[in-house]
Structure 1
Amino acid sequence: MIPISSTVYSIKPIQSPRELDASFPVMNQLRTDLTLAAYRELVAAMRPQGYELYALYADDTIVSLAGIEVRVNLYLEKHVYIYDLVTCADHRSNGYGEMLLHFVHEYARDRGATYVALESGLARTEAHRFYLDKMGYTITSYSFRKRL
């Protein structure tokens, strides 16, 4: 007998303040320095620039998030940039990150994007393996920054 999951999966944009607040515990696992107030403020400031936040729900529970934006520049042309991609620690290794990333790829294709790009912290070696080995990404550059 093959077990059949009755879990219902859906990917929806985070739009309302209530949805944003409900997504915070998952986002906070990636952006650990954020407070709820800062999260609200930063997302509100990013939205006019084109930032969109999508949640993957397993039944009615947010298990994974992707914060994305369509961008254009000289080296990637039209592309979707992933600012945030996180799966709740309690739900990792269930394929949720892969499902959400496939959604982002399709989202990018639908908008005529040439690439999907992201940055990943140096210490996130499991995430790097996921991007490289499972999802077919390549490492093309280093990212530098200087705090002012």
Structure 2
Amino acid sequence: MELVIVDVPPDHAGRAADVGKLIRTLRPALSAEGFAQFAAEAHGQGLVFTAAYDEDSRCVGVAAHRVLATSRGRLLFVDDLVTAPEVRSAGVGARLMEELEKRARRAGCVRIELDSGVTNHGAHRFYHARRMSIAALHFARELAAE
């Protein structure tokens, strides 16, 4: 599959249609309005949406990522990586990961990090196949509104 990899800027007319649609397959509780709010705020925090388009100009994959300076060194953190269900296992995710690695190296990052849900075994196999290791446990606590 031939792919074109591009960053989708905040003012891009197709961001909600292309990127939002795919992010919402990964995050089904996120409404279209919620995606728009999240995308606007997160862009201000350095989030970049990198999309993969096929030869028919369909958005078939998205990586949401940002460079962070941490006490463990500069890293590229992947907030979300999603491939359209109809093209999974066709190399889209692998191509996006290759692009992210190039960008991380250019940005002087020492590593790529991401979180993956504990029950998402297909994603775990994908990340292990790319020589990623489980380096930490991510703990979370929901905060009730007061």
Query: TM-score range, shorter-chain basis?
Result: over 0.9
Deviation at 1:17, TM superposition (A): 4.1
Helix, strand or coil at the partner of 2:117: coil
**Residue 65 (structure 2) pairs with residue 71 (structure 1):** no
- Equivalent positions of 1:32-111 (< 5 A) are 32-59=28-55, 60-75=57-72, 77-111=73-107
Query: Runs of 5+ in structure 2 lacking a partner?
Result: none
Give 2:133's match in structure 1, choosing from 107, 132, 138. Answer: 138
Aligned length: 140
Q: Which residue of 2 aligns with 1:125?
A: 121
TM-score for the superposition, normalised by structure 1: 0.91
Residue 13 of structure 1 pairs with residue 13 of structure 2: no
Q: SS where residue 33 of structure 1 aligns? A: coil
Percent of paired sites with the same residue: 26
**How far apart are 1:103 and its partner, in Å?**
0.2
CA deviation vs aligned residue, 1:72-103 (integer Å, no higher than 9, x gap)? 1112x101000000001111010100000000
| Structure 1: 5+ residue stretches without partners | 1-6
Q: CA separation in 2, counterparts of 1:9 and 1:95?
A: 10
Report deviation, 1:19: 2.1
Q: SS of the residue aligned with 1:18?
A: coil
Deviation >4 Å, runs of 4+: none
2 CA distance for matches of 1:95 and 1:8? Answer: 10
Q: TM-score, normalised by structure 2?
A: 0.92
